[in-house]
Structure 1
Amino acid sequence: MKYFYPLALLLFCSITVEKTFSERLSDAAITLTKDKVTYDSSYFSIKYPNGDVPKDKGVCTDVVIRAYRKLGIDLQKEVHEDMKQNFSKYPKNWGLKNTDTNIDHRRVPNLQVFFTRFGKSLKVTDAAADYKTGDLVTWMIGERMPHIGIVTNRKTSDGKRNLIVHNVGAGQVLEDCLFKYKITGHYQFKK
């Protein structure tokens, strides 16, 4: 009987709590901020599947693509396969007549359609508490620049908002930018 308490304490201390998908996505996004990346929206020919632009280059969508890839999800392949079967459901902003595995997954409007079709499209609000760890947020910067980022588990210094990992020109950064631009979409996607 005298060994019961220490044994129970040892068992309790050795229990590992598995992180949720949303927490793992947040962690993956935060690790990306350690890489030096120059904002570069150039068209790149990349391999398929699991292709990526050069590691030191990228845009906002590459943050999302790279974070999901760290969790074993290839958005290049996922978006391409759906676009190939359902091309008419995707925007025609670029005048394309066919899919393009080099760029389709790197366009915010295409990701918005994909996340709506295969994830959850959540309500856009002005309440910071509605944007949870692992959520995806899209914005329109000015009149013509769609943007996307990942909500993390890190908070602003006042604890009122979750910080976002995104790339709008300064590389892959962790910032308080949830309400900096006009929000156009709010999604959750896990496979």
Structure 2
Amino acid sequence: MKHKTIQTFGIVALMCTLMLLKLPPLGIILVYLAIFSVSLLYKDRVHLSLLCYVCLYIILEFWFRLSLKDTFLMMSVYALIIVQYRDRHVTYVIVPIVLIVFTYLLVFYNILLQEPYSAQDFNYEILDLEHDENNNGHSDNQDILTGAYHQAQLKPQYKSVYYAGGIPPETEGVCTDLVWRSLQEAGYNLKAMMDLDIDQDPDAYPYAEDANIDFRRVRNLIVFFERNTRSLSRDLDDKAQWQGGDIVFFSLDHVGILSDHYNQDGLPRLIHSAHPYQFNFEQDVLVSLNDSKGISGHYRWELNEQGYALLNALT
């Protein structure tokens, strides 16, 4: 019994080493074949256990593209079960299958995030805006993206409530609050700009009713962005046009900001606040939201002449 326990933990230590070395699948298979050959000489069951470890690791790391932390977590769960039920042959095979199905569901529902690709992986030209409103040495779209990531880390509680004065607490908000907070990171007061635009042309905003809530309504935001910023392609096949910091609207009830992390198809993730039970604010949902709701607007924060007129009027 003691020998088997030591053997199992030895296999775990070996797999952890392989994970840290980030060996390619072929390298891992070669390591397995070497140990398999030795184990056959001693008629040991170690090769079955190691084979399952290798297969599980390759699937998690190179198919699901999980982070090292998440891969280690799944491998540790498998190791604990093997230690507990190491005398049952079926455990070595059934448990990895269950873990793979479980992992697939976690990835599908964006609870576990795959290791992202970058724009450089797809040879996309990075469109970095030159304007730096807050003079912090970073362009506006970089600051907007930084603000969006900050919201993704903060994870404000999804709460759709009317607030006197219009501004919700930092720990609360909905999808539209992520937008104005991200713009605030770049030095822009979206509420003030929208209030002025509505005052100057109220007929353009048929759904504007109350300054405390107008800037938090998706319908009003679409009008503002269409009037004052750069409108871009809504075609997801034009993949290079979808870049980090862009603001994307879905139907007339949702909005988010594109991440600079890309999926295997070359489309960026979306940073958004969708519902009270959302686990991650950065999710690979651009295609699914387009299928379910439809993309109603895709904009980049490049103010046009009218937009700059609003900005200058506030300074």
Q: Which residue of 2 aligns with 1:5?
A: none
Is 1:164 paired with 2:263? no
- For structure 1, the residue ranges without an aligned partner over 5 or more in a row are 1-17
Q: 1:190 Cα deviation (Å)?
A: 3.8
Please give the TM-score of this superposition, normalised by the length of structure 2: 0.48
TM-score normalised over the length of structure 1: 0.76
> Structure 1 counterpart of 2:296, which letter?
T
Give the equivalent residue in structure 2 for 1:138.
249
Contact 2:232 2:299 in 1 (8 A): yes
Go from structure 1 to structure 2 and tell me whether the alpha carbon gap of 1:65 and 1:134 turns closer, same or farther (over 3 Å shift): same
Letter in 2 for 1:152: S
Whole-Å Cα distance in 1 between the matches of residues 280 and 188 of structure 2?
19
Contact 2:222 2:297 in 1 (8 A): yes
What letter matches 1:151 in structure 2? L
Q: What are the ranges of 5 or more consecutive residues in structure 2 without an aligned counterpart? A: 1-136, 304-315
Q: Give % identity.
A: 31
Correspondence for 1:123 among 233, 242, 258: 233
Aligned partner letter, 2:227: R
Larger Rg: 1 or 2?
Answer: 2
Instruction: Detail structure 1 runs of 4+ shifted over 4 Å in the superposition.
Output: none
Aligned equivalent of 1:186: 298
CA deviations 1:85-112 (Å, max 9, x no partner) are 11100133xxx6xx52210100111111
The residue number in structure 2 matching 1:3 is: none
RMSD of equivalent CA atoms: 1.9
In the TM superposition, residue 184 of structure 1 has moved relative to its aligned partner by 0.9
Amino acid in the other structure paired with 1:104: D
Partner amino acid, structure 2, of 1:31: H
> Which structure carries more helix by proportion?
2
Q: How far apart, in 1, do the equivalents of 2:186 and 2:151 lie? A: 13
DSSP-derived class of the 1:111 partner:
helix
* Letter of the 2:200 counterpart: Q
Q: Residue by residue, what CA displacement relative to the aligned partner does 1:156-183 show, whole Å, maximum 9, x if unpaired? A: 2x26221111111127711111122211
